[in-house]
Structure 1
Amino acid sequence: MSYSGKQIGLLAAAGSAALLFAAFVFQALGYAPCAMCIWQRYPHVVAIGMGLLLTMGLPIIPLLLIGAASAATTAALGVFHTGVERDWWEGPTSCTGSGLDMSSMSAEDLLSTDGASNLVMCDQVAWEFLTLSMASWNALLSLVLAGLWVFAFAMRQSNSAGPSLTSP
Structure 2
Amino acid sequence: MRRLIALALLGHVGLLGGAFVFEAFGFAPCAMCIWQRWPHAAAILLGTLGLAGLAPRLMAAGGAVAAATTSGFGAYHAGVEQGWWEGPAACGSGGSLAGLSAGDLLSTEAPSDLVLCDEIVWQLGLTMAGWNFVLSAGLAVIWIVAATRRA
The question of a shared fold, defined as TM-score above 0.5 by the shorter chain, is answered with: yes
Q: Does the alignment pair 1:43 with 2:42?
A: no
Greater C-alpha Rg: 1
Query: Which runs of no fewer than 5 residues in structure 2 stay unpaired?
Result: none
How far apart, in 2, do the equivalents of 1:76 and 1:104 lie? 32
Q: Does the alignment pair 1:74 with 2:70?
A: yes
1:84-111 alpha-carbon deviations (Å, 9 max, x no partner): 10111110111103332359764x6434
SS in structure 2 of the partner of residue 119 of structure 1: coil
The 8 Å contact of residues 5 and 51 in structure 2, kept in 1 or not, is answered as no
The 8 Å contact of residues 75 and 143 in structure 1, kept in 2 or not, is answered as yes
Query: Which runs of no fewer than 5 residues in structure 1 stay unpaired?
Result: 160-168
The 8 Å contact of residues 91 and 98 in structure 1, kept in 2 or not, is answered as no
The 8 Å contact of residues 81 and 91 in structure 1, kept in 2 or not, is answered as yes
The 8 Å contact of residues 20 and 41 in structure 1, kept in 2 or not, is answered as yes
Aligned-pair identity (%): 46
TM-score, normalization by structure 1: 0.83
> RMSD over aligned Cα, in angstroms?
1.8
Residue 59 of structure 1: aligned partner: 55
Aligned ranges 1:92-131 → 2 under 5 Å = 92-101=88-97, 106=102, 109-130=104-125
Residue 133 of structure 1: aligned partner: 127
How far apart, in 1, do the equivalents of 2:60 and 2:14 lie? 18
Cα 1:50–1:103 change in 2 (3 A) is closer
Alignment size in residue pairs: 151
